[in-house]
Amino acid sequence: SAVISQKPSRDICQRGTSLTIQCQVDSQVTMMFWYRQQPGQSLTLIATANQGSEATYESGFVIDKFPISRPNLTFSTLTVSNMSPEDSSIYLCSVIEGLSYEQYFGPGTRLTVT
Amino acid sequence: DQQVKQNSPSLSVQEGRISILNCDYTNSMFDYFLWYKKYPAEGPTFLISISSIKDKNEDGRFTVFLNKSAKHLSLHIVPSQPGDSAVYFCAAPSNSGNTPLVFGKGTRLSVIA
């Protein structure tokens, strides 16, 4: 299975600032996704990161707030812009290899906004 | 509207006993289901899955049962071990093919020694 790393692992940020989270995979993957897990909640899909084109966002998430890049088949970034305390969550990168239902997850980035 | 529901936020079981985690779904088009386990400060890890053409899939101490008519599945862990203490998520692909998973809210399992 793919090995996924994320940077940073955690951060504490001030309201109004932005943070970029990096996701690196050790192999080329078909699909890459970004999820958010707010305290006590489920994993919520933010967007599908498309290689070489704009990400596909889920309802309730917009590009201005969560810009995503995917320059190649092994790397993606998610930026959380103009942060507020409500953005405090764990952000998770996830991938699918080949033609499979199984998704593999990175270790997550724990973000606290003060 | 949640398509995958886990109505028990927590479960406590004694070591050696059976743990049963439940999951209900609303979308009858779902044809594949997965269970993930999540430890604190780690990402979810895939545990076991089942296709809708089966009603049972077993892997060691873990068995998943699927009741399509009731739109219900369950994960059985026997015997339960303290290392099984984690949050367990039920999930299903949102559509056919390489589509992202939709998750339940999770059930926190505590196995007491």
A21 vs B contacts (CB less than 8 Å) = none
- How is residue A50 annotated by DSSP? P
CB contact under 8 A, A45 and B100: yes
Bridge partners (DSSP) of residue B11 are B109
**How many beta carbons lie within 10 A of that of residue B4, not counting itself?**
23
Q: Return d(Cα A12, Cα A5) in angstroms, integer.
A: 19
d(CA B29, CA A58): 20
Q: Which of A93-97, B35-39, B94-98 has the highest mean pLDDT?
A: B35-39
Long-range CB contacts for residues B55-64, cutoff 8 Å, separation at least 24: B62/B35, B64/B33, B64/B35
Asked if the model's pLDDT at residue A32 lies above 80, the reply is yes
CA–chain centroid gap for A69, Å, is: 10
Residue B56 · residue B66 · CB < 8 Å: yes
Contact list, A106 vs chain B (CB under 8 Å): 43
- How much is the pLDDT for B83? 96
Q: Of B41, B33, B44, B45, which is closest to residue B90 (Cα–Cα)?
A: B33
Cis amide leading into A8 (omega within 30) = yes
Question: For position B98, what pLDDT does the model report?
Answer: 67
- The number of angstroms, rounded, from the C-alpha of B91 to the middle of its chain's C-alpha atoms is 7
- Chain A nearest-CA distance from B94, in A, is 10
Q: Pick from B86, B94, B88, B91: which is nearest to B107 by CA?
A: B88
With a cut of 80, say whether residue B19 has pLDDT above it.
Answer: yes
Q: Do A33 and B45 touch (CB under 8 A)?
A: no
CA B45, B42, B2, B31: dihedral to nearest 10 degrees?
-10
Tell me how close the Cα of B3 comes to any Cα of chain A, in angstroms.
Answer: 12
Closest CA to A88 of A65, A111, A66: A111
DSSP 8-state assignment for residue A55: -
**What is the per-residue pLDDT across B82-105, written as a single tens digit (0 to 9) for each?**
999 999 999 998 876 668 899 999
Q: How confident is the model at residue A101 (pLDDT cuts 50, 70, 90)?
A: confident
User: Strand, coil or helix: what is B4?
Assistant: strand
pLDDT tens profile A37-94: 998 888 999 999 988 888 999 999 999 999 999 999 999 999 999 999 999 999 999 9
